[in-house]
Amino acid sequence: MPTIDDMKLKASPLLALVALLCAMCLACSDYHPAKFRYEAQKRLHHAEKLLNDAQLKNDLANPTAVGQIQAAYNGALNYCLSVLDSVDRIRSVREWEDISRLSFQAGTRLSQLMFPDRKYDSCLIVLRRLSDHISLPILESATLKVNLAEVLQASGRWSEAVATYTEAVDMVNPPVDPSGQVISSVFNLPAHIYHILRQTADSLAADSSLKRAFTYYRSFTASRSNPNLLLAAHGSLASLYADVGDWHSSVAELNQMRDSTGAIGLDAQVRIADIYAGELLRSDSALAMYEKIGSRLIGQDTALRPILLFKRSLVYMEKKQYNEARRLLTELDRNYHSYFLASPAAQQVKAQSYDLDGNWGRAETEYRFLIENYAGTEEAMQAYLYLGEQFAKQGRTTEAERWMQKAEAFYQQTAERSAGTAVEARALTYKAEMLRRRSDWSGAATALTAIFDKFPDSEIGQKAVMAAVGLYREKLGNSVVADSLVTVLRSRLVQAGSSR
C-alpha cells in the first residue's frame, strides 16, 4: 500500500476549477450530485489538512491527534459511501466516479492510520466496505486487493491473503500502467509469496509457489512489446534462480537485462561478477569483469569504484593470495580513505588475511583494532567471539574465559546504550549465540524470541525467530511453540517497500 506521504491528494488547477464550478452550480440549482461531490472534497481536504499539520508538528505519536485525524477520514468515508446511493450512476457518471475515488482515498488513509496499532479487524471493515460499495478503475481495484491482502496476512489469515494476492495478480495482467511502467506492488507478488513460504519453512507450499512464480515471470519474456516489463521479468527470474542455487541460469537471465542500446545494465554486470567470484568459482573471470566495469564508470557511477576494489580483494582472499588482497586493501585505504574508515568489512578482511596467512600476532592486533574502532558493528561483534574461540584453541584457557566474560558484558552494554536500534538487536543476537554455544537451548530460544518480539519487522528479528524455531523443534522438541512462531512471523512479512 502506498505510504501516507506518497498518497498526497494531487490537487491541480483543474480540480480547483471543478470545485469552483460546483460551488457556482450550488448557488443557482439543486443539482445534488455536484453538491455531494463538493462536500466530499471538502471533508477529505479537512482530513488531509489535519494529517499534514500533525506531520509538520511530529504529532502522529499523539493518540489524541491521531484519533481526530482518523475521525475526520472516517467521517469523509461515511459521507462518500452514504451519498453514492443517491447518485444515478448512468446520468451522473462523472460525479459517481469522482465520489468513488474520494471514498477510496479516505478509506485507504484510514486503514493506513489504524494498521500500525494492529487494528486489523477495523482495517478489514474499512477496506471491505470500499470493495463492496464502490467500483474503481482496474489499477485502483488491484491496489485495493493488495491492501486487503496485506491486512489479512498481518492478521494471520495467510490462506485468505494468498487468495486475495492472487486475485490482484490476475486482475492486472500484464502488470503495467497506462504509461508503460511496471506496477511493482502487483508484479512482485508471486515472488513475495514464494519468499514467505520459503522463509517460514513450508517446503511443499514453497515449491508450488516457486513454480507459479517461474511461470508468471517467464510469460513476460516472450513479448518484446514492453521493455520495462521484459527487464523486470529477467531480473525476477535471475533472483529466483539464485534462490534455488541455479547460478548458471541466474547469469543467463542477468545477461538479458539490456538497455535500449543493447548494453547489460551496471547492476546486472556487478551481480554477474559477484556470482563468478563466489558461487561459480570463476575468480579470473570475476576479476576481469570488476576491472572492466571500473574502467568504464563515469559521473555518479564512479562512487562504485571503492566497492569494486574491495570486491577484488575478496576474490584474492578466495584464491589464497593474501599479499595481493592486502595490497588492494592498502590501495583502498589510500585512495578511498573515508570509505575504508566507514567499512568494518574491509578491516575484518585485513585481519583475516593475516590470520589465514599464518601471522596470528598481527591478525590479533587487527581484530582488536576492529573491535575498538568499529564497536556496534556485526564484524566487531563477530570478532569478540572469534578471538575467544582462538584463545581457547591455543590453550590460553584463562584468557579465553576472561575474554568471553568481557564479550558478554560488551554485548549487554552495547544493547543498553543503543536501545531500540538495530545495534541493540544485533548485540542481543550475539548474547543469544553465547547461550547456544553453552548448549543452553531454552535460554537461547527465549532470548531469540524476545529479539523478534522487540524487532518484528527487522531482518535481524526475523532471522532470530527462525533460529528460535529451529531450537524449539530440534533441541527442545516443542513443535507447538515452533509452529506458533512461524505463524506470527508470516504475518509480519509484508512486501518490501510496503507502508505496513
Q: What is the pLDDT of residue 495?
A: 63
Q: What is the pLDDT of residue 448?
A: 97
CA dist 457 → 18, 190, 411 (Å): 43, 21, 22
Q: Work out the percent of the chain whose per-residue pLDDT is above 90.
A: 82
Q: What are the b/e assignments for 97-111, b being 16+ CB within 10 Å?
A: bbbbbbbbbbbbbbb
Got the DSSP string for 271-316?
HHHHHHHTTT--HHHHHHHHHHHHHT--GGGGGGHHHHHHHHHHHH
Q: What is the pLDDT of residue 223?
A: 74
Q: What is the pLDDT of residue 492?
A: 87
Number of H helices, E strands in the chain: 25, 0
pLDDT beyond 60 at 407: yes
In angstroms, the CA 470 to CA 485 distance is 11
**Phi, psi dihedral angles at 416 (to 5 degrees):** -70, -40
> How many CB atoms are located within 10 Å of the residue 416 CB?
10
The answer to whether the beta carbons of residues 126 and 104 sit under 8 Å apart is: no
All cell numbers assigned to 484: 506458533
pLDDT beyond 70 at 7: no
Q: For residue 137, is the peptide bond before it cis, meaning its omega torsion is within 30 degrees of 0?
A: no
> How many CB atoms are located within 10 Å of the residue 317 CB?
19
Q: What is the pLDDT of residue 217?
A: 97
pLDDT in tens, 330-388: 999 999 999 999 999 999 999 999 999 999 999 999 999 999 999 889 999 999 999 99
Average pLDDT, the chain: 90
The answer to whether the beta carbons of residues 391 and 343 sit under 8 Å apart is: no
In angstroms, the CA 407 to CA 382 distance is 10
> How many CB atoms are located within 10 Å of the residue 480 CB?
8
Spell out the long-range contacts of 327-332 with Cβ–Cβ below 8 A and sequence spacing 24 or more: 329/353, 332/306
The answer to whether the beta carbons of residues 316 and 328 sit under 8 Å apart is: yes
Q: What is the mean pLDDT of residues 145-155?
A: 95
Q: What is the mean pLDDT of residues 247-265?
A: 94
All cell numbers assigned to 479: 513443535
Q: What is the pTM of this model?
A: 0.83
The three-point CA angle 469-474-480 to 5° equals 55
pLDDT beyond 50 at 27: no
| 262-266, 288-292, 446-450: least confident range | 262-266
The three-point CA angle 249-251-254 to 5° equals 115
Q: What is the pLDDT of residue 484?
A: 94
